[in-house]
Amino acid sequence: MAPVSPMFRTACIWVTWFLLLAAHPAEAETFDEKYSKMISDDAAREAIRLALTKIDKATCESNRPCAAAKAEEFTQTPITLVDGRAAMVFAIKSALAQWCGLDWRRSFLPMIAFGKLHEKMNDRQLQLMTLIHGDFQTRQFILYTKSGQCPAQLREQLDAQLPKLDR
């Protein structure tokens, strides 16, 4: 990953925070919709490609390693660009939650549940979503931690927006 300037990093953090704070419940556009627009098709395509190169390290059916990606999967991907972008948006929320001292799984687990129950994704597709999410969450979390502490108002807003997990 190329080095990111401190100014760019700080700008990314403040843009993220501003977008969260600017969201009003009465607005039609959600946090997910705003962030989806910020992730290009090329970025989502690259995230899917990278996940496909790592898929054989993931666990699929019957707790067995997933098969390595076939050449055709790189052109006819098992998940769509919309799916890849969604995994990245959930990763942003997970990274923000982690940075703010909240359980990042409050973003991750709903993504997996939605993919499994509503999108009827198979294990391989869910693992691709997981790989994309994990990679992007890690990169975003590193950026956020370099900017300092999570603002209390952002933590409160995230805590209110993310679903609570049953223990």
DSSP string, 95-154: HHHHHTTS-THHHHHHHHHHHHHTS---HHHHHHHHHHHHHHHHHHHHHHHHT-SPPHHH
80's enclosing H/E stretch is none
Residue 8 lies in a domain: no
Residue 118 lies in a domain: yes
How many domains are there within the chain? 1
Mean pLDDT, rounded, of the chain: 85
Longest Cα separation, the chain: 47
| pLDDT tens sequence across 13-59 | 444 544 444 444 444 567 777 778 889 999 999 999 999 999 999 99
- Position 24 in a domain: no
| pLDDT over threshold 80, residue 9 | no
Report if residue 154 sits inside a domain.
yes
Answer yes or no: is 149 within a domain. Answer: yes
Give the dihedral of Cα atoms 88, 89, 93, 95; nearest 10 deg. Answer: 20
Question: Domain range for residue 120?
Answer: 39-161
Examine residue 113 and state whether it is found in any structural domain, yes or no: yes
Domain membership of residue 28 (yes or no) is no
Please write the tens of the pLDDT for every residue from 123-152: 999 999 999 999 999 999 999 999 999 999
pLDDT of residue 25: 45
Residue 90 lies in a domain: yes
Contact 131, 75 (CB under 8 A): no
